Chain A
Amino acid sequence: MFKHLFKLIWNKKKQNFLLMSEILVSFLVIFAVFTLVVYYYHNYKKPMGLDYQGVWVINYSNSYQTKNTDSLNLYYSTLVQTIKSLPQVKQVSFTADNTPFTQNMNTGGITFNNKKMDGNNWYTVDDNYKNVLNMDLLEGRWFNKGDYATKSKPIVINSDLKEKLFGNGSALGKLIGDGDNKSKMRVIGVVQSIKIKGDYANTEAGLYQRTDTGSFRWLGKMLVKVTPDADATFEGKLYKTVANYMKNSDVEIEHLADKRVSINYFTLVPIIVLLIVACFLIINVALGLFGVLWYNINKRRGEIGLRRAIGATGNSVSSQLVFEAMILATLSLIIGTFFAIQFPLLNVFSLPASVYIIALFLSIIFIYLLVFVCSLHPGKQAAAIYPAVALHEE
């Protein structure tokens, strides 16, 4: 029977072409949607790598200008002491602008073994940064005061960069960077990569370098870890404290938790739009499929009557029609899979191959279900055709 149906479809390839291309196009759209959904889910399942609860960001512009580095440092360490003296403050850390859940980036290359890796995030942070964000230390240690006077500049890398540079090997003590050994940097620790762009974004390779005495000339953000009872009143007090200290500076306080929510929206909006578009498309395709199958069945009433006359039951007629639709779907899916598989093979968007594979399977199942559901009712209708009537019509 299978061979028979295949022959029937093959001989009608011209009529079936439209239906097949319709299935193919919807498969490709579904595949795109599923790829994105699976990718987001894949990212969502990864650990965040940091604790954003009770972490506030103080944005300031540099108000204190001096050529003297010592008095600059004194100015900022006094600020820290002032903030820390507030009972609700647990930790304070200075950082460059690329704090978590912002669009700010500072990317650059890094060389190891004469191989240059591009697109790494460079973070300039201080000794308290890891504790404020409660980051996971996987190997070695974070920065401390002793790093002030080491021979090679100490550096902490994240797990993504570690894998890129060293694979499964150890990273500790390795020298990375340009130039001769003197100007290279020594890896002193590895931290778990953080999802700096929110829950649905992937982690990226990154390096943490320690602030130095001159850094205060350009740094513009503090991260403050506060106790759970820190409320709006306290926020006002903190604001006043900082603003009073830093005269002529624009001070602004934000919450990391809020920033996470808004960056999540930012990543979710495109997928929601795409989902809506895909839904309309699927409804369209489903109606189209339904219509074409319906039309085919009406055009084939004579054939259906004949099959009944020569020994087909109503059920076998209806399963034949469903089966034919499934064969058509299979042919389209074979072509579609050929296109879809190019994405992991050519690594077009550098997503993990597993994301594509899962999306591919989901799309195939989805299309089969769609075609099955759309052909079920026309198939049932075909079974209900009175053979005597259908044979009479021609």
Chain B
Amino acid sequence: MIRLQNIEKVYRTSTVETLALSSINLDIAKGEFLSIMGPSGCGKSTLLNIMGLLDAPSKGDIKIDNQKTDHLSDKQLAAFRNKKLGFIFQSYHLINDLQVLDNVELPLLYRDSTAKERKMLATEALEKVGLANRVKHFPNQLSGGQKQRVAIARAIVGRPEIILADEPTGNLDSAMGSEILDILLQLNQKDGTTIVMVTHDENMAHKTHRLVRLFDGSQVQ
């Protein structure tokens, strides 16, 4: 489903050059649940962003469903992210001025949909993460675990094939963290969603199908 070939990423600022990723080769199958581990600064987020076509690699190819992606326009990239991908972040990235339901509806605003459809799909997604009773709340009226569940609902509302989760449990205690992991495991098992998750937690990583370790921008396992 996702194939990374010889990916290299160099960040250049006026003074320093950082090699964030080098010669990454990775094949992710449809329906796979992959976790990525590694010390801070080793390039995990960078890798995830490259997979999500949010960032372009300095070298190498990304193929998604066997299609090369380097020639896509901004519009095509946006459409791709909108239809195929769901992002989950450590810091949730909810819009604080919008109610839970509106936050979850957000991805649907960037595709053809009616208000009714949006509401239906968003309610459905919120039910899946067990937050159907919080639709009218604002994000700052929720706990961290609840916020992350809203973010998951937002990630799945458009029924994406792939979910990219960057330390989704990083800000949560272990009980909350395993709750979130359970939701992701369910999505993977029931709906067959392909999931790539960055984590610092060995136990969680072992519950997934495969573990990739990064060190200083390189794959070590």
The residues of A with any CB-CB pair to B shorter than 8 Å are 1, 3-4, 7-8, 11-12, 302-303, 305-316, 386-388, 391-392, 394
For B202, list chain A residues within 8 Å (CB).
Answer: none
B17 within 8 A of A: no
Within the complex, which residue of A1, A12, A308, A392 is in contact with B78, where a contact is CB–CB below 8 Å?
A308
B91 and A311 contacting across the interface, CB-CB below 8 Å: no
Query: In the bound complex, what is the Cα–Cα distance between A386 and B55 (angstroms)?
Result: 8
Query: In the bound complex, what is the Cα–Cα distance between A390 and B99 (angstroms)?
Result: 22
Residues from 61 to 102 in B contacting A, C-beta threshold 8 Å: 74-75, 77-79, 81-83, 85, 87, 89, 91, 93, 95, 97-99, 102
The residues of B with any CB-CB pair to A shorter than 8 Å are 45-46, 49, 52, 54-55, 74-75, 77-79, 81-83, 85, 87, 89, 91, 93, 95, 97-99, 102, 105-107, 109-111, 115, 138, 154, 158
CB A261 to nearest CB in B, in angstroms, measures 59
A309 and B52 contacting across the interface, CB-CB below 8 Å: yes
A308 and B54 contacting across the interface, CB-CB below 8 Å: yes
A310 and B154 contacting across the interface, CB-CB below 8 Å: yes
A306 and B110 contacting across the interface, CB-CB below 8 Å: no
A306 and B98 contacting across the interface, CB-CB below 8 Å: no
For B154, list chain A residues within 8 Å (CB).
Answer: 310
Within the complex, which residue of A3, A12, A302, A311 is in contact with B81, where a contact is CB–CB below 8 Å?
A311
CB B37 to nearest CB in A, in angstroms, measures 19
CB B9 to nearest CB in A, in angstroms, measures 10
For A387, list chain B residues within 8 Å (CB).
Answer: 54-55
A310 and B87 contacting across the interface, CB-CB below 8 Å: yes
Query: In the bound complex, what is the Cα–Cα distance between A310 and B98 (angstroms)?
Result: 16
List 5 A-B pairs, minimum CB-CB distance, nearest first. A311-B82, A311-B110, A388-B55, A313-B78, A388-B49
For B102, list chain A residues within 8 Å (CB).
Answer: 4, 7
Query: In the bound complex, what is the Cα–Cα distance between A308 and B81 (angstroms)?
Result: 8
- Nearest residue in B to A312 (C-beta to C-beta)? B110
Query: In the bound complex, what is the Cα–Cα distance between A309 and B106 (angstroms)?
Result: 11
A311 and B54 contacting across the interface, CB-CB below 8 Å: no
Could you list 23 A-B pairs, sorted by A, with CB under 8 Å? A4-B102, A7-B102, A8-B95, A11-B97, A12-B97, A302-B93, A303-B95, A306-B87, A308-B54, A309-B87, A310-B82, A310-B106, A311-B158, A312-B78, A315-B74, A386-B55, A387-B54, A387-B55, A388-B46, A388-B49, A388-B54, A391-B93, A394-B93
B110 and A310 contacting across the interface, CB-CB below 8 Å: yes
13 more contacts with CB within 8 A, not counting A303-B93, A310-B110, are A1-B109, A4-B109, A8-B98, A11-B99, A306-B87, A307-B106, A311-B79, A312-B110, A313-B74, A313-B75, A313-B78, A316-B110, A391-B54
Given A3-B115, A7-B102, A316-B110, residue A311 in contact with residue B78 (CB < 8 A): yes
CB B30 to nearest CB in A, in angstroms, measures 21
For A1, list chain B residues within 8 Å (CB).
Answer: 109
CB B119 to nearest CB in A, in angstroms, measures 12
Give the residue among B52, B93, B106, B115 with the most A Cβ atoms within 10 A. Answer: B93
For B110, list chain A residues within 8 Å (CB).
Answer: 307, 310-312, 316
